[in-house]
Amino acid sequence: MLKSIFSLFILLIASTSFAAESSKTPAAEELHYDVVSPPHPVSDPSKIEVLEFFWYGCPHCYHFEPYIKEWLKTKPTNVVLIRQPAIFNAHWAAHAKAFFTAESLGVLDKMHDDFYDAIQNKHETLESEADLAKFFVAHGVKEEDFHKAYKSFAVDAKMRQAETLAPSYGIDGTPALVVNGKYRIGAAKAKSFDKMIETANALIKLESNPKHVK
């Protein structure tokens, strides 16, 4: 009788341990991510937010772009991608300001790829206001509208936020992804773009079932 009770007790402990273990976040060493501490709030709690930190001058970001585009075709409907220029020096800042200017003018979708192409393949710098004005005008934006947006309070506010955002997530290089303000996926740790996407998908699945998140 005592032996049966002891066996049942051991089985109960093992079952409880397994349940607790299965409810934890997937192992960081298996999925190549880091935990963001403390976690950051997301802009829309009804969605799972994926931040993509990048720089137009980064060749790795340029080569990661096709992976992001392919992922966008199959991502769950409850997931939103937010592209976020990282700023670590004046060169990064110039390209970030171009991004935010295009965003404010509503032309980001048609300029994003061309901006990458101009910098990565045509080796244009596109850092001065004058050079950027020509680029925007070539894409159908009135020069007056460009200068107004470029110098706007909204773009300036986005720039000031971007200067501190990447470091606040513990990001020191690009490309990098942050899932739901909680998990950081860096290219150096993931070792491959496929692994970055795989890890993001696993963490998205986890965040889609919040009762299992500890």
The secondary structure of residue 38, as a DSSP letter, is: S
pTM for this predicted structure: 0.83
Q: Domain spans of the chain?
A: 29-212
The string of pLDDT tens digits covering residues 16-32 is: 433 333 345 555 556 68
Closest CA to 51 of 208, 182, 141, 151: 182
3-state secondary structure of 54: strand
The string of pLDDT tens digits covering residues 101-111 is: 999 999 999 99
Q: If you average pLDDT over residues 161-174, what whole number do you get?
A: 95
Tokens 């273990």 locate to 21
3-state secondary structure of 175: coil
Bridging pattern class, strands 79-85 and 48-54: parallel
The domain at 29-212 falls in which architecture? Answer: 3-Layer(aba) Sandwich (3.40)
Angle at 195 between CA 190 and CA 198, to 5 degrees: 130
8 A C-beta contact, residue 184 and residue 33: yes
Q: Which two tokens stand for residue 84?
A: 């976020």
